[in-house]
Chain A
Amino acid sequence: MSSPAVADLAGPAIPPRTPAKFRAGLVPTVVALALIAVVWEAIARTSDGWVPGLAAIAESLVRILTTGSTYGDLVLTLRRLLIAFVAATVAGLAIGAMMGFSKSFEAFMRPLVVIGLAIPDPMYFILALLLLGTAEHVGMLALILAVIPFVVHGADTGVRNRDRGLDEMSRVYRLPRRTYWVDVLGRQIAPIAVASMRTSLAFSWKIVVLMEALTQPHGIGAQIYYAFRLLRPDDMIAYALIFVMIMKIIEVAVFAPLDRKTGDWSR
């Protein structure tokens, strides 16, 4: 201990994301996507004509992307998604954190969360439609209610499993309340909060499309349902592909940097 190794004298070494590492992740992705495309095309060619081939999907994709009203639908859906995501994340983190701190609140909320997680998602919208009507905010309310249990679950687990040793340390050294919430508890929960937001976004987007398909005349979900009624599987797949790409862009642009920021000390 008294003679530290030479390596110890260097500063913190956080390896940057190297191009080689990036390529190592890229190759399997490309291979997987190519495989899916090949298998899909093979099925399309051997089918009785109901499965659209890659060419038909590409053609449909171009047509949808060059249609002006697509962007209106897209903006509408993304706006709904954003509202549901923010509302469900904020409410879910708050409820989950309160459950993590209070045993009695946890006992009170737990059955509600379990039921919320178990209810099939279409139920929220069908019930809301029947009970409250077809107005857009009814669908939004049902959407937010459907997503909240997923976020609550993550936040509750995170706060409950916090390091109680650090709580004790904070009390012995009388860390101010603000320091405790930001530097001690906040940093422990940050990775879980980011994971919860991811879950929230993933569910929001799946469910927003479902909500639109079931209850709304406009939006990507409504368009997918419209394509279904016109028996146009190529259009349905094209709409889904557009949405998948947007989600992937959000993932790379927002969540990957957040992950790096909240976890840089553990690398």
Chain B
Amino acid sequence: MSPEDVSTAVSQISVRDVEITYPNGAVAVEDISLDVRHGEFLAILGPSGCGKSTLLQAVAGLLTPSRGEISIGGKPVTGAKNAHLPSIGYVFQEHRLLPWRTVEQNVELVLSAGGVPKAEWAERTTRYLSMLQIEHLRKRWPMQLSGGQRQRASISRALALEPSVVLMDEPFGTLDEVTARAMRSELLDVWQRTNRTFVFVTHSIREALFLADRVAVFTRGPARLIETIDIDLPRPRDYDSRELAALEGQVVARVLDVWGE
């Protein structure tokens, strides 16, 4: 942990009164304030198309809010020059690997851009590909991998940068359920081993409750924050446990009116 991480240990990501409008003038995100603690696993839960991914893109600096402030590790993301931005790992819904680079080269490309010394590339790549159990596939082209393996590679790429925060935008949304289940358990394992701050966007209530320390529940678009729920279930959690199912039932009952047509 670097000194600046310690000084902002309470709030790693801070979102203050943020409003985001699309280029066509429609409001995507309306007045959202949210704090993510250091080392926390926060899930952002909302119906499809509500603007939760848009907020995540703003946290990554991909788009600028029309109002409000976002900072990571105390450094403002909004309006900051590239060089001063904190490093971010991002896992997209699609793998977004370069198909003409091998898995290993895809990771190295990001390490190079992140200013990691070349001497460390091999060790970092090996460590994170092994953690995601795809070390043996490092010389493969992404097109030769299964959907799950590609997403493993994408997660390895995000972690290899050893960023202060890892943002995930429905990373298991396109995987089959069995693969997604295995990946969720492993993701929690990786999160605990790397001790990083994870923000995970999903529309699946059970997925959010299974993974997160806290769940921020959003309304239908334009997104507003309904509430944040602390998930006190002990870890490791069981995806099919009665406690999780009961909790899911409660959340469904609470969001039914807000999310419904």
Query: Is B60's CB within 8 Å of the partner chain A?
Result: yes
Q: Enumerate B111-142 residues with CB–CB distance to A below 8 Å.
A: 112-114, 133, 136-137, 139-141
Cross-chain contact A8 with B100 (CB below 8 angstroms): no
- Which of A68-76, A122-130, A138-146, A168-176 lies at the interface with chain B? A168-176
Query: Is B183's CB within 8 Å of the partner chain A?
Result: yes
Task: Select which of B60, B139, B144 is within 8 A of A172 by beta carbon.
Answer: B60
Cross-chain contact A172 with B143 (CB below 8 angstroms): no
- Which of A179-187, A210-218, A233-241 lies at the interface with chain B? A179-187
- Which of B17-25, B64-72, B87-95 lies at the interface with chain A? B87-95
Cross-chain contact A2 with B133 (CB below 8 angstroms): yes
Query: Is A66's CB within 8 Å of the partner chain B?
Result: no
Cross-chain contact B113 with A8 (CB below 8 angstroms): no
For the complex, give the distance between the alpha carbons of A179 and B112 in Å.
10
For the complex, give the distance between the alpha carbons of A175 and B161 in Å.
13
Query: Is B74's CB within 8 Å of the partner chain A?
Result: no
Cross-chain contact A266 with B143 (CB below 8 angstroms): yes
Cross-chain contact B82 with A12 (CB below 8 angstroms): no
Task: Select which of B98, B133, B179 is within 8 A of A184 by beta carbon.
Answer: B98
Query: Is A166's CB within 8 Å of the partner chain B?
Result: yes
B148 to chain A, nearest CB (A): 5
For the complex, give the distance between the alpha carbons of A75 and B218 in Å.
71
Cross-chain contact B62 with A174 (CB below 8 angstroms): no
Cross-chain contact B137 with A168 (CB below 8 angstroms): no
Cross-chain contact A169 with B92 (CB below 8 angstroms): yes
Task: Select which of A11, A12, A169, A265 is within 8 A of B96 by beta carbon.
Answer: A169
Query: Is B27's CB within 8 Å of the partner chain A?
Result: no
Cross-chain contact B113 with A12 (CB below 8 angstroms): no
Q: Enumerate A139-174 residues with CB–CB distance to B below 8 Å.
A: 165-166, 168-169, 171-174
Q: Enumerate A228-267 residues with CB–CB distance to B below 8 Å.
A: 265-266
Cross-chain contact B139 with A165 (CB below 8 angstroms): no
For the complex, give the distance between the alpha carbons of A8 and B133 in Å.
12
Q: Enumerate B49-81 residues with CB–CB distance to A below 8 Å.
A: 57, 60-62
Chain B residues with Cβ below 8 Å from A172 are 60-62, 88, 90
Cross-chain contact B136 with A173 (CB below 8 angstroms): no
Cross-chain contact A174 with B113 (CB below 8 angstroms): yes
Task: Select which of B90, B102, B143, B144 is within 8 A of A173 by beta carbon.
Answer: B90
The answer to whether A12 and B109 touch (CB under 8 A), given A2-B133, A168-B92, A174-B114, is: no
Task: Pick the most buried of B85, B100, B136, B139: most chain A CB atoms within 10 A of its CB.
Answer: B100
For the complex, give the distance between the alpha carbons of A265 and B106 in Å.
13
Task: Give 8 new A-B contacts, CB below 8 A, not counting A165-B96, A166-B98, A168-B92.
Answer: A1-B186, A8-B137, A169-B92, A169-B96, A172-B90, A174-B82, A179-B109, A265-B101
Instruction: List the interface of chain B (C-beta within 8 A of A).
Output: 57, 60-62, 82, 85, 88, 90, 92, 94, 96, 98-102, 109-110, 112-114, 133, 136-137, 139-141, 143-144, 148-149, 152, 157, 161, 179, 182-183, 186
Residue pairs across A and B with Cβ atoms less than 8 A apart, 12 shown, are: A1-B152, A1-B179, A165-B94, A172-B88, A173-B109, A173-B113, A173-B114, A173-B161, A174-B82, A174-B114, A176-B113, A183-B98
Instruction: List the interface of chain A (C-beta within 8 A of B).
Output: 1-2, 4, 8-9, 11-12, 165-166, 168-169, 171-176, 179, 183-184, 187, 265-266
Q: Top 4 nearest A-B pairs by Cβ distance?
A: A169-B96, A265-B100, A172-B90, A265-B141
